[in-house]
Amino acid sequence: EVGEMRIGCPGFRPCLVVLQVKLNRCDSNLYISMKLKAAAEIGICANHIRLPKTATEEEVLRGILAVNEDSAVHGLIVQLPLDSIHRINIQRVTQCIAPEKDVDGLNSVNAGKLARGDLTGCFIPCTPSGCMELIAQTGVNIAGKNAVVIGRSKIVGAPMHDLLLWNHATVTTCHTMTPDLPAQVIKADILVACAGKAELVKGEWLKKGAVVIDCGINHIPDRSRPSGARVVGDVDFPSALTRAAFITPVPGGVGPMTVAMLMENTVKSAKKFLKAFQPGKWPIVYTKINRQHPQPSDGEISQSCAVKPISSLSSEVGLLSSEVEAYGKSRGKVQLDVLKRTEALPNGKYVVVTGITPTLMGEGKTTTALGLAQALGAHLNMNAFACLRQPTHCNTVNVTGKDILFLTGDSEAVSRASAVVVASLSPRMQLEAKQICKVTVWPLVFHKGGPRASSPLHLNRLKVSHSAATDRLNLLVASEIMAVLSLSSSLEDLQQRLSKIIVAQPQSREPVTVKDLGVAGMLNMILKDAIKPCLMQTVEGTPVFLHTNPLCDIAHGNSSILSDKIALKLVGPDGFVVTEAGWGADIGLEKFFNIKCRSSGLQPDVVVMVVTVRGLKMHGRVPSVSIFTNLQLLEVGCSHLRKQIENSRAYGLPVVLAVNTFSSDTGAELDMVCQQARLAGALDAVCCTHWSDGGAGAVALGMAVQSAAETPHSFNFLYSLEIPVQEKITVIAQKMYGAKDVVLSTKAMEKVTLFTGQGLGNLPVCIAKTPLSLSQDPEVMGIPRDFILSVEDILANAGAGFLCPLVHSVSLIGEEIPPTGDCILTSC
């Protein structure tokens, strides 16, 4: 059978693990050596795990869990007894063994099935199974016979009773409290002795012609032996030999048959694994959804769905139990150690979902990303993961299965970290505010004799000014910390990036950083759990990482690098990871490629462009064009679609259009959009109904993405980091937004000079502008022409690793606050 399995799956070998707490018991060591030798003879890979006698119960359980989660192991036996110097609960140990690998049949799942007569659906303990095989070899029909079992241990006696019973024998189990044992034994047509007492059963007790199976292993003194002892069974063999028709010797009877049954169970387990095994495929179970008419509310859909326990989901996608920290029943944090374990594995296919410039009602990028992941996984049988940003606000529930209520406290951790930074800087700000007040404000306070006294109105203005400056600093620091969290690739990288965050910029000195404040280590401690991606699932059971939520204007607006990296390893080379870029292709996708991909080193394979007919109609409302019909409106709006497809193709990747359809869309409108997309260079254009139909509504999109991922492509960035800062801004503005030119204010030019002198000139840029238009005017739809992009200021996000030019239309919290002393906050 082992040879047949190798023919069907070259290189495959059944694997057995024997776990033993190291001890000097000759019988245990003898049995283990017999098992290892037998396994090697028939081609089973056998590993012997020896734990020291100082091993604790928890160490034994951890060893069992590691074997449970090793897909290359098909059988596990724990060699009993566990003679540790510590007290170990044997019941807890046997319960820890995965039932599908419990080839010794000791787990309560297997024992329960045996007790209920489910002999084909469980692993039968090896010694009772061997006894049944020996009885079968005698030719004696068990049905209708009187059988007596001496002993009721969970390993031999109790399962032996069940086996004989379900083979239609009349069974009596005897034990220490059984009166007149000989009277019971004399009735037995079949006797199984497993009491563990040397030569307990005498020959005269036996019924003439009985079948005697002796499972006992006992040592009695024998001076004639070099060891001073010899092995005997529970039956007095010489006297029993004259009355029994068949009797097993000790040693050499039941022992070898037990080993043979162990090998049989291991092969059986390996065959069951191989039957369900698909190379590179997760053993994941998806949830089928039933469409309802009319469409239920998002909350009703979320509440009606059965959610898999996070332990089941994590196991299905290849995560070990030690790598997942459960947060309730349906979500959990994934340890970063998984990246080390999977380091040598190849990455899967990387898909980024973007869209046209969003309208006020949105285009559906998030629902498309989740629908695509569900289609690839539940409907196209591919390993598929979705990686999304956490929602900015506390609670979001929708049909795609995203149900978040504060998640795991990541945003709160970022807020705490920001508060620590601001609190560390505030004493200096207050001191300098007092000094500047004495020099410039206090002499202006009017007084008529007596002491000077500020008016309540004047004092209130000073308080408001300081409060606004603090609020602005808090916003910017929190934004950069979240961006740092999103762009970090390890805890070490996180601390290095946090240390570089600039919190103040003196006019005449080097910038003040978090490292200078001495709080980088504290921030790292606050964020040590927040850096771990949060694992959840859609309503169809597709795995999703929700991690970090950097802003889309003064930050890059993408989910974390770590969630993408872990997911790409878990899905395998043929799987897909679907992530989302915030806002439209001109902003979110540009930042995804030029900031996130530069930091991660990952190269996407496919861009999915999401569009709606109603969104394109809104972009078709251009004042200079007279519109008479919906199709004409749509035709004008398609010019915006062509521009965004051009933006997406600028990076050398295939683009697939996903039309997020509504019941109000007509066939002619959908055909026009798909046709215009193909003319603009999209590899394919597909209409999707995932909002109402779940993954089934995005199957065509999934197939198009699969095909696109196989097309040859060469990824490239939009600009080189070596070019000057102003030129980077110009490249983005002209190629992505369609601007005629870029104008930097005097203040912005000063910042360019300052940051270049500080060695920050080779960072990518993250332009903060309105997401509602390609231009800087949110009221201008479609494709703006001949506009000038005005950059008012530039922020240095040295920790996150980018410069942030602020376009004229972007404003931060509060009004412009004059610098205190010689210190200019990064928000100024």
* Residue 457 confidence (pLDDT): 53
Task: Say yes or no to pLDDT of 465 above 80.
Answer: no
> Is residue 516 over pLDDT 80?
yes
Q: What is the pLDDT of residues 483-506, one digit of tens each?
A: 999 999 999 999 999 999 998 877
| The pLDDT value given to residue 431 | 55
pLDDT at residue 399, as a whole number: 36
| Averaged pLDDT, 286-309 | 77
Least trusted range by pLDDT, from 21-25, 35-39, 51-55, 762-766: 21-25
DSSP conformational letter for 168? T
What pLDDT score does 229 carry?
87
What per-residue confidence (pLDDT) applies to 469? 61
Mean pLDDT (whole number) for 446-457: 54
Confidence band of 58 (pLDDT split at 50, 70, 90) = very high
Cα separation, 193 vs 214, whole angstroms: 5
* Over residues 178-193, mean pLDDT: 95
User: Does the pLDDT at position 448 exceed 80?
Assistant: no
Letter for the amino acid at 198?
A
Nearest to 207 by CA among 157, 164, 172, 254: 172
Lookup: tokens for 767: 């332009």
**Whether pLDDT at 690 is above 60:** yes
Q: HSE-up of 43 (CA within 13 Å, CB side)?
A: 12
Write down the pLDDT at residue 822: 30
Per-residue pLDDT tens over the stretch 783-802? 998 899 999 999 999 999 99
Per-residue model confidence (pLDDT) at position 818: 30
**Residue 30, both tokens:** 């003898």
Percent of the chain with pLDDT over 90: 65
Question: Which of 297 and 221 is assigned the larger pLDDT?
Answer: 221
Q: What is the pLDDT of residues 528-574, one digit of tens each?
A: 999 999 999 998 999 999 999 998 888 999 999 999 999 999 999 99
Phi, psi of 304 (to 5 degrees): -85, -10
Say if residues 628 and 636 touch (Cβ distance below 8 Å). Answer: no
Separation CA 566–CA 25 (nearest Å): 45
**DSSP type of residue 378:** I
CA triplet 800, 571, 540: central angle to 5 degrees? 100
Catalytic sites, residue numbers: 35
Whether the per-residue pLDDT at 450 is higher than 60: the answer is: no
**Three-state SS string across 9-31, please?**
CCCCCCEEEEEEECCCCHHHHHH
pLDDT tier, 814 (very low <50, low <70, confident <90, very high otherwise): very low
Query: What are 584-640's pLDDT values in tens digits?
Result: 999 999 999 999 999 999 999 999 999 999 999 999 876 666 666 788 889 999 999
